[in-house]
Amino acid sequence: MDIDPHTLQQILEKIEQQIRCPQCGERVPITFHSVKVVASDAMLLQLQCGKCAAYIVLQASLKGVEGLSAPPYEKNECANVSTGMSSYEDDVRQVQLSLQQADGSFTQIFECSTNAEAKQQTD
């Protein structure tokens, strides 16, 4: 089963809300590194309690995961939610031009814009 990173993050958040260490009862942190195996209908996680250092092996069912997946973008099917920008093409071209003029240095861009703002305030 192919699971996109956003859906996997949602699954891990739901598991983290519910799981507690069977030895000490503390909440157990879950990260992407906890996931060891993803099969067609289940996922295997290896966790470690932050308080008592107990290891926990957890099998999570993936039934119903299809409902968690986000709908694909209309413009670019390869894009995900984090790659979407709410800007105009002219703005993107302006940023690209500024980066080219500054040889790719964000520091030079900000120094130029700070100097220009200071000059406008004195005028």
pLDDT of 73: 44
pLDDT of 83: 54
Rounded Cα distance, 48 and 56, in Å = 6
pLDDT of 46: 92
pLDDT of 10: 85
pLDDT of 52: 92
Rounded Cα distance, 83 and 63, in Å = 28
Query: Residues in the chain with pLDDT < 50?
Result: 73
89-101 and 106-122 are packed helices; what angle lies between their axes, rounded to 10 degrees?
A: 100
Q: What is the pLDDT of residues 76-105, one digit of tens each?
A: 556 555 555 555 667 777 777 877 887 767
